Amino acid sequence: MSKSYSFHWDHLYPFLEDVYRPEDEKLRLIRERSHNKGLSPIQVGNFDGLHLEVITRMVNPRRVVEVGTLGGYSAVCMARGLTEGGKIWTLEIDPAAAKVARENISFAQVDDRVEVIEGPALQSLVYLEKLGPFDMIFIDADKISYPKYLEWAEVHLRVGGVLIADNTFGWGRLLDQKFSTPAEKMSIEGLVAFNQRLASSPRFRATILPTGEGLSLAVKAK
Ligand code: SAH
Ligand code: DHB
Ligand code: MG
């Protein structure tokens, strides 16, 4: 019999939060401020932020791309794991979010290593190509385009580079057949295709970490 895949001990959460301290005062303020400025509270969870920092420290990247900035919460987490000389380009389509993100990134004093690029990510990625290859990419924007972002990463990550993607459990709806809007249907279909393509790609070795919303983690093997 196989051991279980995910976390079953919600009662331990306060203890774990108290011990690991996933979100310090600065991140708490960034989250609060983003919300007060009208952004939806959909930044990564507190422990996901810590995962991102620790993974960044492990990968030791010089060039990172984030797709989907929102208020810069996850960008600040990754920036904390970045060594001297590393750089994060983070892509955001919503000018209001980009503005808040720039403020938060300055507040966190990582504006020397994080650059917010405003516009549709698929366009910004074309612009970024000449700055690659990249060591790490974090995908966390519109779910419809996840397969496209993966295609880009297949080409523009270096061999040994790491891909991370948030929300890949699709809020539990990956197997659903009924949707209330076409947009909802396309988002879930995007996440299904993303999981299938990543898991079976000959260029990646991939897993999916059982975080609250599913965090795909892959290394470009060839
Ligand atoms: N990574 C952030 C959360 C991102 S939420 C964090 O954890 O802090 C998703 C973001 O993707 C939103 O801000 C949304 O405006 C942005 N987005 C959606 N479609 C996009 C697109 N086509 N190009 C760039 N950004 C996009
Ligand atoms: C939502 C959450 C996310 O983490 C994201 O990247 C996009 C949308 C949501 O809850 O709708
Ligand atoms: Mg997300």
DSSP output for 97-120:
HHHHHHHHHHHTT-TTTEEEEES-
Distance CA 102, CA 99 (A): 5
Predicted confidence at residue 146, as pLDDT, reads 98
Looking at ligand 2, which atom is closest to the CA of residue 68? 6
Entry pTM:
0.98
For residue 218, what are the β-bridge partners? 163, 206
- Amino acid, res. 185: K
The pLDDT tens digits for 161-174 are 999 999 999 999 99
Predicted confidence at residue 145, as pLDDT, reads 98
Question: 1 C-alpha to center of ligand 3: Å?
Answer: 33
pLDDT at 1 over 90: no
Question: 11 C-alpha to center of ligand 1: Å?
Answer: 32
Percentage of residues of the chain with pLDDT beyond 70:
100
Predicted confidence at residue 84, as pLDDT, reads 92
Question: 216 C-alpha to center of ligand 2: Å?
Answer: 15
Mutate to test the pocket of ligand 1, among 40, 76, 94, 167 (most ligand atoms within 8 A of CB): 94
Predicted confidence at residue 9, as pLDDT, reads 95
Contact 62, 99 (CB under 8 A): no
